[in-house]
Amino acid sequence: MAEQKKKGKSRISPIFKRAVSHLFTKPATTKYPFVKPQLPADSRGKLVYEIKDCNAIDFGCGPDFRLDIKALRGSNCQVCVRDCPAGAIQIVEVEGKKRPQIDLNKCVFCYQCVETCPRGAIKQSDFYELATTDKGALVMKPEYKNKKEAS
Amino acid sequence: MSNAADMINLLESKFGDRIQIKQGTLEAGAIIANNGLHYDVLKAMIEADEKTGITAITGLDLGDKLGVYYHVHTAKPFFTIKAEVPKADPKIKTVVDIHPGALFHELEVTDLLGVVFVGNELQGHFVLSENWPDGVYPLRKDVDATKVQLVPTPEREANKNAEGRQVKIIIGPQHPALLEPEKFSVTVDGEIVTKVEPRIGYVHRGIEKTAESRSYLKDTYLVERVCGICNPIHAYAFVSTVEKILKPAVPERAEYLRVIALELNRLHSHLLTLGHAGLEIGYETLFQYFWRDREPIMDLIELTSGNRVYGSLITVGGVRRDLNPEHIPKIKSVLEDFRKKMPFYRKLYQEEPTLRLRMKDVGVLTREDALKLSVVGPVARGSGVDMDIRKTQPYSAYDEIPFKQIVYTEGDTWARMNVRMDEVEESINIIEYAVDHLPSGPVRVEVPRSVPEGEAVSSVEAPRGELFYYVKSNGTDMPERVKIRTPTFANIPSFLKTAIGESIADVPSNFVSLDPCFSCTDR
Amino acid sequence: MIDLWLIFRILVFPGFTFILFLTLFCDWVERKLEARIQNRVGPMVAGPGGILQPLADFIKLLTKEDIEPRDTKKLVFRYAPLAAFSIMMFAMCFLPIDGASVISTGGFSGDLIIILAFATIANFLLFMAGWASANPYGTIGSARVLTQFLGYDIPLYLLALTPAFIAGSIQIATIASSFPYILLAPWAFILFIITMQAELEKDPFDVPHSESEVVGGLETEYTGAKLAFLHLTRDVQVVFGSALVVELFLGGPNGPVFFGLDWLFYTLWFVLKLLIVVVISEYITTVVARLRIDQVLTGNWKILLPAALLSLIAAVALATWVYHPFGIGMAVGV
């Protein structure tokens, strides 16, 4: 090995110098959790569900060229339930009305529901620190914030 | 012969009335050949063109018959030989003796559909697990995969230690050398390998069967999850196949954005492989350097699609998100920085003595073996076969973007790694060109949810090689059959050949140069 | 009557405790250096700058469950790691650290050979540790350990004897306090560092530890406290090998002394020179890949052994006709 290194004076691998120069450069590590990385504003993080915008009992959900109106069944909108690839959205009863419940355990954050919802009730956010030790905390139960919203 | 018409004329003159040829369907044409004639047709095609090979063999359930479709690629045109066997007696002649690359495909069709290839019978299971009951074939329409009763694991016969002083070493499902689980039983004589027996199917999730019970919209997300590394290319292949049936007017801007997403994916995948190769030969420093340089690319992927890994950008009819013009300077500056780092890696590959000792003349695959086994991707291009789907059957916007095809002739691990490094540079050129020449306009068109009856195939160039999709629709909003042929599935038989005669210490270095992705292999 | 001073020297300074902490410190230096070369941070949470990380790893392993497979040879499996560790520590006690070796009688003529023999015995015990585990990976790994260290022991002995020939003595303390032999036989220094890389199983001679081929090598079946001692043995071997380089070629603990505190300054010089050798060794480890086992053996029998023989001949020739007539490099009594 020594012979090879001594002979190849003009053909030395560049890594020898690079290794030494790296000792004097700043490391490339982001020291998470002390330093948090900067994410683009439109990255796909946790979903935000605005119950006041949702209208799951309406029939004929508004003009949206991505929907095929004939394919809607029944008198509930529920397009988010139908289009979720992971089956993460279920309908529950809240104050006598049917609303979607999003289970973030199963969600793959594809944002198909964000696109499909004709009223924009499910919105994007870039919050990504969802790790928790309690699975139940990841189920987003729909609830009204005050009486006014419920009417 | 690079002309579809020539091949069709040749076949018609040879076989006359015994076969039917439908020109123009399924790319260049579909040849219906029953009663064992598929063997003769394939033989004639191989003799006419040396670059003929089998891309995939699709098996499907046609009611009272089982269809066995041979998808054959020649130098340029792409044919399909359709054969049918009755369900009651599903026997068909094997083509492994004229084309060894068909081995894995036939075994898979036997396992999943129950077609018996006379001359290439399957013992046990190939892709399904040992707990699967015999006689239940999941891809048949009458089988509900969720209601199958599993049998207890059968008693394994003792690993007979092969003849004489040969020892069987199992590079088992859990092994630090493999990223994903597969089992390779390597028989060694001293230090020289004499035989390799693979057992695949540890990551089999039944995606092809699952896709039949979900709508096309949901399937776009499902097929993306066949592989974590090359996910947009799976989505694109599926979408482009469906678009060949639907024929929507996809806008120009969408095609360019698709190219940008696909090339960013190729960049990050090649950097992953180059780093992983370093890890296998004990060169952790190289691994850390490559993955450090991969991070800005992942940030770019997040910038364009919203997520570092599963971009979910491509959908039927276009792309889901537009590219914000404010992001373009950042994209260009990251690529420019990255381009300045490449000379260091090139020089390293040329000059570093230990790297050359580990990679040169390891796992040599000759050009004729590469053609006979139908290997794809950088494995083929490292052995002198100039096959790149982006050049031979251009798709999306690739026919408008200039780039070079990279071919090396040595055929060893070193050549394959160099192919990938050169492709990294070409990808940077492609992305810069696409970003500079981005046409304006919409990025998406409306498509109906139900797809009319029809079938289509499409081949795209994934980072690991040629990815092939076949979709058959029946007029509803769920597909009838989705067939996926991934590049690693086609490349593993070449490893079974190149490992023989070399030292067992070369097995990791040889294996990682194939760029194996077992999630793709098993689906 | 019990000599408390001797017991203090053996157990605390410069004996067992000091060497233990020196080992953990050198492990931290290695890891930090490797991390910085690879452009990352390395240990940084346990203690200031991560300096307590090796200790934390050791304690963590001590708390883990200790599983013994049924088919292992119990006696060897259980006690080989501890025996190897003890022998290495014992070998370290012969090296002069603070001006005199731990047992403070200045050693005896021939202790160079004895400690090299101890190192070989420790390696052999490690081989038996892997052999006693009922695991094919352990068997292959330990067979590779045996092939490698037995082969490289021969050039090691030859190169270790080069300064001994120039000095005219085979007592380490004498060699250390005579002359920094790197100046008189620099080729032997380079070859010795490379041979030491092979003895310590570091890249490019990392074959016994290659995870991609043999999973864990000889450590595959070890867990818990036994694994902790295997790792510690390996770290002590690194310190031992580097200390041997320091003693033979760099003049041991000798250096300028201030304020008459000879034990303090000798120790400081020793540690400084040790760190220099550790840094050089780790640099070589980081920048190269791992060789195949047949390339390792070719390197030994076809390249290194002839080179070691030539180096010895050159050193003896130079000593007889150049150095000794001018009085350079001859042994200075201790």
Mutate to test the interface with B, among C207, C212, C214 (most CBs of B within 10 A): C212
CA distance C101 to chain A (A): 33
Q: Is residue C134 part of a domain?
A: yes
Q: What is the CATH number of the domain that holds B427?
A: 1.10.645.10
Option in A2, A13, A23 nearest C36 (CB): A23
Q: Which residues of chain C have pLDDT under 50?
A: 334
Q: Does residue B258 sit in the same domain as residue B405?
A: yes
pTM comes to 0.86
Q: Is residue B168 part of a domain?
A: no
Q: Does residue B272 sit in the same domain as residue B396?
A: yes
Q: Is residue B184 part of a domain?
A: no
What is the span of the domain harbouring residue C203? Answer: 19-326
What is the span of the domain harbouring residue B459? Answer: 207-522
Q: Is residue B173 part of a domain?
A: no
Q: What is the CATH number of the domain that holds B132?
A: 3.30.460.80
Number of domains chain B contains: 2
Cβ pair C38:B169 closer than 8 A = no
Final residue of a structural domain among B116, B140, B164: B140
How confident is the model at residue B2, as a pLDDT? 57
Cβ pair B354:C212 closer than 8 A = no
Query: Quick one: tokens of C108?
Result: 């005896």
How confident is the model at residue C69, as a pLDDT? 83
How confident is the model at residue A75, as a pLDDT? 40
Q: Which 8-state DSSP code applies to residue B503?
A: B
The string of DSSP letters for C198-230 reads HHTT-TTS-GGG-HHHHTTGGGTT--HHHHHHH
Cβ pair A2:C41 closer than 8 A = no
Are residues B198 and B183 in contact, defined by beta-carbon separation less than 8 angstroms? yes
CA distance A15 to chain B (A): 7
Query: Quick one: tokens of C57?
Result: 């790893």
What is the rounded distance in angstroms from the CA atom of residue B379 to the CA atom of residue B184?
20
How confident is the model at residue A150, as a pLDDT? 53
> Which residue type is seen at B113?
L
How confident is the model at residue B11, as a pLDDT? 79
How confident is the model at residue A137, as a pLDDT? 84
Angle between helices C16-37 and C53-62 (to 10 degrees): 110
How confident is the model at residue B270, as a pLDDT? 92
Q: Which residues of B437-455 are buried (b: 16+ CB within 10 A; e: fewer)?
A: ebeeeebbeebebbbeebb
Q: Does residue B125 sit in the same domain as residue B218?
A: no
Pairing outcome for strands A48-49 and A122-123:
antiparallel
**Long-range contacts of the stretch B298-305 (C-beta < 8 A, 24+):** B298/B268, B299/B334, B300/B264, B300/B330, B300/B331, B300/B334, B301/B261, B301/B264, B301/B265, B301/B268, B302/A39, B302/A40, B302/A43, B303/A40, B303/B327, B303/B330, B303/B331, B304/B260, B304/B261, B304/B264, B304/B331, B305/B261
Per-residue model confidence as pLDDT tens for chain B (523 residues)? 457 777 778 878 887 777 777 777 777 778 887 777 888 888 888 888 777 888 888 888 888 888 888 888 887 778 888 888 888 888 888 888 888 878 888 888 888 888 888 888 877 788 888 888 888 888 888 888 778 888 887 776 655 555 566 777 778 787 777 778 888 888 887 778 888 888 888 888 888 888 888 888 888 899 988 888 888 999 999 999 998 888 888 898 999 999 999 999 999 999 999 988 888 888 888 888 899 889 889 988 888 888 888 888 888 888 888 888 888 898 999 999 998 888 888 888 888 888 888 888 888 888 888 888 888 888 888 888 888 888 888 888 888 888 888 888 888 888 888 899 899 999 999 999 998 888 888 888 888 888 888 888 888 999 998 888 999 888 888 888 899 998 888 888 888 888 888 887 788 888 888 888 888 888 8
What is the rounded distance in angstroms from the CA atom of residue C101 to the CA atom of residue C109?
13
Q: Is B281 on the interface with C (CB under 8 A)?
A: yes
How confident is the model at residue C27, as a pLDDT? 92
What is the rounded distance in angstroms from the CA atom of residue B293 to the CA atom of residue C195?
34
Q: Does residue B215 sit in the same domain as residue B105?
A: no
Q: Is residue B171 part of a domain?
A: no
Q: Is residue C3 part of a domain?
A: no
Q: Is residue B197 part of a domain?
A: no
Nearest to residue C185, comparing CAs of C316, C326, C15? Answer: C316
Q: Give how far the C-alpha of residue A75 lies from the chain's centroid of Cα atoms, to the nearest Å.
A: 29
How confident is the model at residue B161, as a pLDDT? 54
User: Per-residue pLDDT tens for C213-228?
Assistant: 667 778 888 888 888 9
How confident is the model at residue A21, as a pLDDT? 83
Q: Does residue B284 sit in the same domain as residue B384?
A: yes
Option in C190, C191, C287 nearest A15 (CB): C287
Q: Is A13 on the interface with B (CB under 8 A)?
A: yes
Chain A residue at shortest CA distance from C299: A1
Query: What phi and psi values does residue B480 have, to the nearest 5 degrees?
Result: -85, -45
Q: Does residue B109 sit in the same domain as residue B229?
A: no
Q: Is B85 helix (H, G, I), strand (E, B) or coil?
A: strand
Number of domains chain C contains: 1
Q: Is residue C5 part of a domain?
A: no
Q: Is residue B443 part of a domain?
A: yes
Q: Does residue B90 sit in the same domain as residue B227?
A: no
Q: Is residue C258 part of a domain?
A: yes
User: Per-residue pLDDT tens for A88-147?
Assistant: 888 887 777 777 888 888 888 888 888 888 777 788 887 888 888 988 888 888 777 665
Option in C136, C212, C292 nearest B503 (CB): C292
Q: Which 8-state DSSP code applies to residue A133?
A: S
Contacts of B175 in chain C (CB under 8 A): 215
CA distance C286 to chain B (A): 6
Are residues B206 and B276 in contact, defined by beta-carbon separation less than 8 angstroms? no
Contacts of A19 in chain B (CB under 8 A): 285
Chain A residue at shortest CA distance from B345: A14
Mutate to test the interface with B, among C283, C290, C297 (most CBs of B within 10 A): C290
Report in angstroms the alpha-carbon separations of C62 from B409, B522, C57, C220, C223: 53, 40, 9, 17, 9
Are residues C296 and B282 in contact, defined by beta-carbon separation less than 8 angstroms? no
How confident is the model at residue A76, as a pLDDT? 56
How confident is the model at residue C105, as a pLDDT? 62
**Weakest mean pLDDT among A60-64, A73-77, B83-87, C198-202:** A60-64
> Which residue type is seen at C18?
F
Q: Which domains does chain A have, with CATH numbers?
A: 29-146 (3.30.70.3270)
Final residue of a structural domain among B120, B140, B160: B140
Final residue of a structural domain among B122, B140, B158: B140
Q: Is residue C10 part of a domain?
A: no
Are residues C270 and C278 in contact, defined by beta-carbon separation less than 8 angstroms? no
Contacts of C204 in chain A (CB under 8 A): 1
Q: Is residue B159 part of a domain?
A: no
CA distance B175 to chain C (A): 7
Return the residue matching tokens 């129950």. B114
Q: Is residue C331 part of a domain?
A: no
